[in-house]
Structure 1
Amino acid sequence: MSIAFLAADTAVAREARERLIARYGEAGLDKAKTIVALGGDGFMLETQHRLLGSNRPVYGMNCGSVGFLMNEYREEGLAERIAASIPSVLHPLRMQATTVIGGEAEALAINEVSLLREQRQAAKIRISVDGTVRLPELICDGVLVSTPAGSTAYNLSAHGPIVPLSANLLPLTPISAFRPRRWRGALLPGQSDVLFEVLEPEKRPVAAVADYTEVRDVLTVRVREDRTVSLTLLFDADHSLSERIIAEQFTA
């Protein structure tokens, strides 16, 4: 069994890694065919970013709190569980941002790209989709574009819709919208090219965040799904990611 074990920086995760290595052995990270991530959802995102471009599947076991992207932690039968697991292939969002002073930044997001006000003033943002202005001015605390897998994360907390993996849709969700007050967001085709333009950037500065990569004082932010990049998560057959997303919609 060619596995590398990665653990979050917590006592629970580190101790779990030591027990699993003692039981199953370990291949080096550069030689392993499967990566087992021990931690919570945040560590799964960190692991996926670390492995971008390697095309190796990641099987997570929850040693954190929520663990939506993780399987149940059990030490027995790990090889059999991995062999019988169901793969979920994800494509991240690519964020391209320009700053007020002319800087440029690019990052990938597995969960979401969010724009957030930096100070007490509400942000003013113009939103275009595929070259057409759809919302001339959104006054808000922020706005985000989510992947289907990320629709149960920050997007859900902001009252955005949960999207099944097979839907090929991207939720566009405002964060505490003031004007238009009744706008609750949109569901966009997966191939959409979304452009955010910050209005009054000196008076109302805005930061852009792709998962945990933050760019301050942005002027424009372009977001689109990058199908050239694939990430594979492995889930136990009785609790696949698609099933979790469906079940989450019926959770009170």
Structure 2
Amino acid sequence: MKFNTIAITAAMHDEAQAAEARLKARYAHVPPEEASVIVALGGDGFMLQTLHAFMEKGTPIFGMNRGSVGFLMNGYTDDGLMERLARAEPINLRPLHMTVEDIHGRHHEALAINEVSLLRDTGFAAKISIHVDGVMRMEEMICDGVLVATPAGSTAYNNAVHGPILPLGAELLALTPISAFRPRHWRGALLPQNARVTFDVLDADRRRVRAGADFNEVRDVARVSVAVNGTVSPTLLFDPEHNLEERIIKEQFVP
């Protein structure tokens, strides 16, 4: 792939800022709004912020890890940036669209690249019912919460709460409970990528629940609906020898 103009952005911590200064001294660059590709320096959190910021514009993003986890990032080096960009392979992501009605009757919307999650917001356990494509699948789950994860996000929070890791080409969503008390042994479900999942919060005034789409959060939710968004598809760029599909497969064999 050939890019005419690049932008270089970085997280605010020292390691990322120092890398940004070195790269800007070596390579011609423009503001992110004018670039044909964005080089993002940081960890997965900063990558998610950058993807959200430029999702509508559709600018491809090449990340280099100057953070902690860096699952969505390539390895970092000062050398050969333009050659790496020319060889990079694209991965097109399909974010989730979250719509929320809160207990005050207000409506909210947000996009999620990793997951949409519901979490209890008081000392009471949450009580949540689940519909899939309009069909009641669970009348009441007593839990700390529940989430829907994309394949790209299945290795993040979803995996931390023992949800399955999904290959990018699986065209599936992971529906995963978070510390479910009843039904005690329910481990979640795999759903078609085109499924619409609706959560109703039971006793929502007393058992307060918040909903998050990546880092965008809504409190006091009554109903949350989740489906794949069909209008935007952010693009990540990876070194051929270090692509996301391969990383997801390798992650399933980590002891």
TM range (shorter): over 0.9
**Structure 2 match to 1:196:** 199
* Partner SS, residue 34 of structure 2: coil
**Structure 1 match to 2:39:** 36
1:10-29 alignment to 2 at 5 Å? 10-29=13-32
1:100-115 alignment to 2 at 5 Å? 100-115=103-118
Structure 1 position 211, deviation (Å): 0.5
CA distance in 2, matches of 1:28, 1:59: 15
- Of 225, 234, 237, the residue aligned with 2:228 is 225
Any unmatched runs of 5+ in structure 2?
Answer: none
* Partner SS, residue 150 of structure 1: coil
- Of 129, 132, 135, the residue aligned with 2:135 is 132
1:206-221 alignment to 2 at 5 Å? 206-221=209-224
Structure 1 position 202, deviation (Å): 1.6
**Structure 1 match to 2:170:** 167
CA distance in 1, matches of 2:155, 2:169: 15
- Of 146, 150, 158, the residue aligned with 2:149 is 146
CA distance in 2, matches of 1:157, 1:31: 37
CA distance in 2, matches of 1:73, 1:227: 33
* Partner SS, residue 79 of structure 1: helix
The residue type paired with residue 65 of structure 1 is: S
Structure 1 position 227, deviation (Å): 2.0
- Of 48, 54, 64, the residue aligned with 2:57 is 54
Q: Return the TM-score normalized by structure 2.
A: 0.98
**Structure 2 match to 1:155:** 158
Q: Which runs of 4+ in 1 moved over 6 A?
A: none
Q: Deviations over 1:156-199 (max 9, x none)?
A: 00100000000000000000000000100000000000000000
CA distance in 1, matches of 2:42, 2:119: 27
Alignment identity in percent? 58
Q: Deviations over 1:14-68 (max 9, x none)?
A: 1111100100121222221110000000000000011021111000000000100
The residue type paired with residue 140 of structure 1 is: C
CA distance in 1, matches of 2:191, 2:11: 34
Structure 1 position 2, deviation (Å): 1.1
CA distance in 2, matches of 1:102, 1:128: 20
* Partner SS, residue 104 of structure 2: coil
Count of matched residue pairs? 252
Is 1:3–2:23 an aligned residue pair? no
* Partner SS, residue 9 of structure 1: coil
CA distance in 2, matches of 1:82, 1:190: 30
Q: Return the TM-score normalized by structure 1.
A: 0.99
**Structure 2 match to 1:177:** 180
CA distance in 2, matches of 1:196, 1:133: 10
